[in-house]
Amino acid sequence: MQKKTKKSPSNLAAYKKVMKIINNSGLNENLIFNQDCIEGAKKYIADESVNLIICDPPFGIKESTFGSQYARDSGNILAGYKEAPPEYSKFSYDWMEQCKRTLKKNGSMYIVSGFTNLAHILNAIKALDLKLVNHLIWKYNFGVYTTRKYVTAHYHLLYITKQKAKPTFNNTCRFNLSQKDNKGGSLLDQDMESVWDIPREFHKNTIKNLNKLPAALIQKMIQYSSNEGDLVCDFFLGNFTTAFAAKSLGRKFSGFEINPAAYNYFIEQYNEAEFGDRLFNSEEDIRIKNWKILQDQLFT
């Protein structure tokens, strides 16, 4: 029996929309698997069934050895992180081939990558005849110190579609044309720029998988590139950030996590999370909230 959700007149329209999705869009088809994404996708994800894919694959740089550089408390890190295989080029092609197969004709995909093996991912995009729509930059403070080279302060975000696709792109999903910062600049234009300045999250004394993307980063991708009731998929779930974000925004979800410790730790939390909980505000309320957040980032 579906849990009843408290509602008020101000969010009645959003409530009805979410309940329609819950009742009619196959919400029970949400499937998250504890296994390799390549073999799992072949077995469980149908051809051209996914609206949006978001992937943060292992970077192939022995991330599990970085504890001393990043001052991590190993006691809070879940054991069992799976490094990328040595043949990163083949690994990239194989999992991205499954992304192409499962992605709808007008679907879209985001890949998060570091610099070291970025060329292999770009080569796979070309080899698979996918279209790189935008090469976005996420400004990110790693918190490292260097003396003989510049400090890396960004990740790469690759926004990809199939050739000739007409993907969902909700350009006013977060701000409207009239919203300005205190200098008169367009908040919509700033939000759509190719450099994303989203702070990393700090979770002191919190159990997590090795690396965690900020929820705000994933939410932005989902808001721009999918609609309520769409199916979102993540091949490398990690801390389940994409899963939680998709569910909270009223999207169906499927994905894979190969690490049993991470899967077992997060799956129960995911199952207990409320579907569509970020949709129970009016659209304008959400835009105002995002506006205030962005202003805080720009002027404080």
For 177-224, the pLDDT digits (tens) are 999 999 999 999 999 999 999 987 766 656 555 567 899 999 999 999
pLDDT score, position 199: 85
Categorise residue 35: left if φ over 0, alpha if ψ from -120 to 50, beta otherwise: beta
Instruction: Look at strands 195-197 and 231-234 and give their pairing.
Output: unpaired
pTM summary value: 0.80
For the record, the structure tokens of 108 come out as 């879209």
pLDDT reading at 4 higher than 90: no
Residue 126: HSE in the Cβ half-sphere, 13 Å Cα cutoff: 7
Rounded to 5 degrees, φ, ψ at 286 are -65, -40
pLDDT score, position 287: 55
pLDDT reading at 40 higher than 80: yes
pLDDT score, position 7: 42
pLDDT score, position 205: 59
Domains assigned to the chain: 9-299 (3.40.50.150)
pLDDT score, position 293: 58
pLDDT tens for 131-158 read 999 999 999 877 678 899 998 889 999 9
Mean pLDDT (the chain) is 82
Strand order in the sheet with 154-162: 31-33, 252-256, 231-234, 50-55, 103-113, 154-162, 130-139, 195-197
pLDDT reading at 14 higher than 90: no
